[in-house]
């Protein structure tokens, strides 16, 4: 009989072969074995209500029967081809129908790739070099993206701070950094560097922080006037805040957007989408050699991922899907309020119903530096208590999903009461 490994044994094996004993994503002491609907189980059989949902992709829950059926049909027809495939073409049509900015689509396999190529595409299109991003904004793992994502050093704007070793100094020189939601600074920096800036990349909902009234509209106007490519990083918000993403929810249309997570239905798939005149720079026959953007990937547009994405988006288009998703999120927000109000401890709930979290501060949270003022001890205590009560979430996010049930809300409510009391 084959020996059954405990979670502790798997952790020991991970320490032998993985740096820091993990994949670099999440707490390596959690080793999940399976998921079904709104629940996941670790290798020891411990059950959790899943508010992590794979860091966002599993909006329908785990093992959705319609998605599984579509995947099983495709498996028998082939896993990957490298060539075009019908499912990938159809998914591109769906993305173009959904996202207001999308006229053409190019596939990659991760959000990091999508954001990297989006910035490179802005440079190819404009012939300029600099990229403007916002402090605390997450745009993947490229050298440009790893500037002022989570800086411990508070440098004066617009100087970028590297977040990783191995980044050349030359990259830092071409990245400008601004505070999110600061219209006055944004206007000033674009005025100063407008002829050097190729693109502005922004999470319309920056991690959890919503845009201030008029911020995205001003950004759109400034980019239009200066012929700067406006890039919405919708890896997280695409098909989550609304079917058409943040650009639909907030009513501001960028020149390019990146989408991922939900669009692959749980498989590695992401994409860039945008205006034809910009996306044409992927077509070598249509632009000068120095303006052509080379891009290819072995698994880009993979048929299995495309099939899973197509079925996921079909389900999301059904009447009432987004009403239910927002209702679930609003209910989770209110449950957090009820549990924490009784403690008298200062906190803010930051975000939108499909994606939010509690921030332990008595001040408004409008940018990265505001968020850094959080009482981290309370955050850690609260999240540790939730984990102990069977709730799996990222330390800084609550992802709602369509799979949540009344039993889940009951478990979450009890867990929140315990977690709130642990703070007193």
Q: Name the 3-class secondary structure at 17.
A: helix
Number of continuous H segments (helices) and E segments (strands) in the chain: 14, 14
Has domain 67-316 been given CATH number 3.40.640.10? Answer: yes
Residue 257 and residue 279: Cα distance in Å, rounded? 11
Give me the long-range contacts of 31-39 (CB less than 8 A, separation at least 24). 31/7, 34/62, 35/61, 35/62, 35/63, 36/61, 36/62, 36/63, 37/61, 37/62, 37/63, 37/403, 37/405, 38/62, 38/401, 38/403, 38/404, 38/405, 38/408, 39/408
Q: What is the pLDDT of residues 19-72, one digit of tens each?
A: 999 999 999 999 999 999 999 999 999 999 999 999 999 999 999 999 999 999
Contact criterion met (CB below 8 Å) for 403 and 358 = no
Q: Give the residue among 261, 239, 242 at the shortest CA–CA distance from 305.
A: 261
Mean pLDDT over the full length of the chain: 96
Neighbours of 81 (CB within 10 A): 12
Q: What is the pLDDT of residues 319-376, one digit of tens each?
A: 999 999 999 999 999 999 999 999 999 999 999 999 999 999 999 999 999 999 999 9
- The DSSP letter of residue 264 is G
Residue 216 and residue 251: Cα distance in Å, rounded? 9
Residue 403 and residue 59: Cα distance in Å, rounded? 8
- The DSSP letter of residue 3 is P
Q: Rg of the Cα trace of the chain?
A: 22
Q: What is the pLDDT of residues 264-290, one digit of tens each?
A: 999 999 999 999 999 999 999 999 999
Contact criterion met (CB below 8 Å) for 262 and 269 = no
pLDDT band at 155 (very low <50, low <70, confident <90, very high): confident
Active site residue 362: no
Show me where the domains of the chain are located: 31-63+321-421, 67-316
Residue 12 and residue 360: Cα distance in Å, rounded? 34
Q: Name the 3-class secondary structure at 262.
A: helix
Q: What is the pLDDT of residues 401-419, one digit of tens each?
A: 999 999 999 999 999 999 9
Question: What are the distances in angstroms from CA 296 to CA 37, 235, 307, 346?
Answer: 35, 19, 20, 49
Contact criterion met (CB below 8 Å) for 311 and 94 = no
Contact criterion met (CB below 8 Å) for 37 and 62 = yes
213 contacts: CB under 8 Å, gap ≥ 6: none
Active site residue 138: yes
Q: What is the pLDDT of residue 186?
A: 98
Q: What is the pLDDT of residue 3?
A: 67
**In the numeric block, which tokens belong to residue 284?**
């070598």
Q: What is the dihedral of CA 362, 331, 336, 59, to 10 degrees?
A: -100
Active site residue 133: no
Sort strands 104-108 and 130-134 into parallel, antiparallel or unpaired: unpaired
Q: Which helix (H) or strand (E) holds 177?
A: strand 175-178
Find the catalytic residue in 107, 117, 138, 399: 138
Question: What percent of the chain has pLDDT above 90?
Answer: 98
pLDDT: which is higher, 154 or 194: 194
Q: What is the dihedral of CA 116, 117, 119, 123, to 10 degrees?
A: 140
- Whether the per-residue pLDDT at 153 is higher than 90: the answer is no
Q: What is the pLDDT of residue 1?
A: 47
Neighbours of 30 (CB within 10 A): 17
Residue 94 and residue 268: Cα distance in Å, rounded? 18
Q: Give the residue among 331, 413, 421, 347 at the shortest CA–CA distance from 381.
A: 421
Q: What is the pLDDT of residue 154?
A: 86
- Whether the per-residue pLDDT at 2 is higher than 70: the answer is no
- Whether the per-residue pLDDT at 105 is higher than 60: the answer is yes
Q: What is the pLDDT of residues 384-393, one digit of tens each?
A: 999 999 999 9
Contact criterion met (CB below 8 Å) for 290 and 211 = no
Is 225 buried (19+), middle (13-18) or exposed (0-12) by CB count in 10 A? exposed
Residue 315 and residue 333: Cα distance in Å, rounded? 25
288 contacts: CB under 8 Å, gap ≥ 6: none
Find the catalytic residue in 50, 115, 182, 233: 233
Task: DSSP for 74-138, please give it.
Answer: HHTT-S--SS--HHHHHHHHHHHHHSTT-SEEEEESSHHHHHHHHHHHHHHHH---EEEEETT--
Residue 85 and residue 305: Cα distance in Å, rounded? 11
The label of the residue with tokens 């590695």 reads 268
Tell me what the mean pLDDT of segment 162-170 comes to: 93
The CATH topology of domain 31-63+321-421 is 3.90.1150
């Amino acid at each position: 009989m084959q020996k059954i490994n405990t979670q502790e044994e798997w952790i020991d094996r991970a320490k032998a072969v993985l740096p820091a004993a993990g994949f670099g994503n999440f707490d390596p002491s959690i080793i999940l074995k399976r998921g079904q609907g709104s629940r996941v189980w670790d290798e020891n059989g411990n059950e959790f209500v899943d508010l992590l949902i794979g860091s966002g992709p599993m909006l329908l829950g785990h093992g959705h029967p319609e998605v599984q059926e579509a995947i099983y049909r495709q498996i028998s027809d082939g896993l990957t081809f490298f060539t075009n495939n019908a499912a990938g073409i159809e998914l591109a049509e769906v993305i173009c129908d959904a996202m207001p900015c999308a006229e053409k689509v190019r596939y990659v396999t991760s959000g990091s790739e999508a954001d990297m190529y989006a910035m490179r595409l802005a440079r190819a299109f404009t012939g300029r070099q600099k990229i403007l991003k916002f402090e605390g904004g997450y745009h993947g793992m490229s050298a440009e993206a790893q500037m002022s994502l989570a800086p411990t050093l508070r440098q004066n704007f617009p100087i970028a701070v590297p977040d990783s070793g191995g980044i050349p100094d030359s990259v830092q020189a071409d990245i400008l950094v601004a505070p999110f939601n600061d219209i006055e600074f944004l206007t000033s920096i674009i005025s100063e560097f407008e002829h050097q800036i190729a693109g502005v990349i922004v999470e319309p909902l920056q991690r959890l922080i919503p845009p201030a009234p008029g911020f995205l509209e001003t950004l759109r106007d400034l980019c239009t006037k200066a012929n700067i490519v406006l890039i919405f990083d919708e890896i997280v918000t695409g098909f989550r805040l609304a079917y058409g993403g943040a650009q639909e929810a907030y009513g501001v249309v960028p020149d390019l957007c990146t989408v991922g997570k939900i669009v692959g239905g749980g498989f590695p798939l992401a994409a860039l989408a945008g205006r034809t005149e910009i996306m044409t720079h992927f077509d070598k026959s249509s632009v000068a050699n120095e303006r052509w953007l080379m891009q290819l990937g072995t698994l880009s547009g993979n048929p299995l991922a495309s099939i899973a994405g197509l079925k996921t988006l079909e389900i999301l288009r059904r009447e009432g899907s987004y009403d239910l998703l927002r209702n679930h999120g609003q209910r989770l927000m209110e449950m957090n309020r009820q549990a924490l109000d009784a403690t008298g401890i200062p906190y803010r709930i930051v975000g939108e119903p499909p994606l939010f979290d509690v921030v332990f501060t008595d001040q408004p949270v409008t940018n990265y530096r505001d968020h850094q003022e959080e009482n981290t001890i309370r955050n850690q205590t609260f999240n540790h208590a939730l984990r102990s009560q069977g709730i799996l979430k990222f330390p800084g996010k609550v992802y709602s999903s369509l799979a949540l049930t009344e039993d889940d809300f009951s478990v979450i409510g009890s867990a929140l009461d315990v977690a709130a009391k642990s703070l007193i």
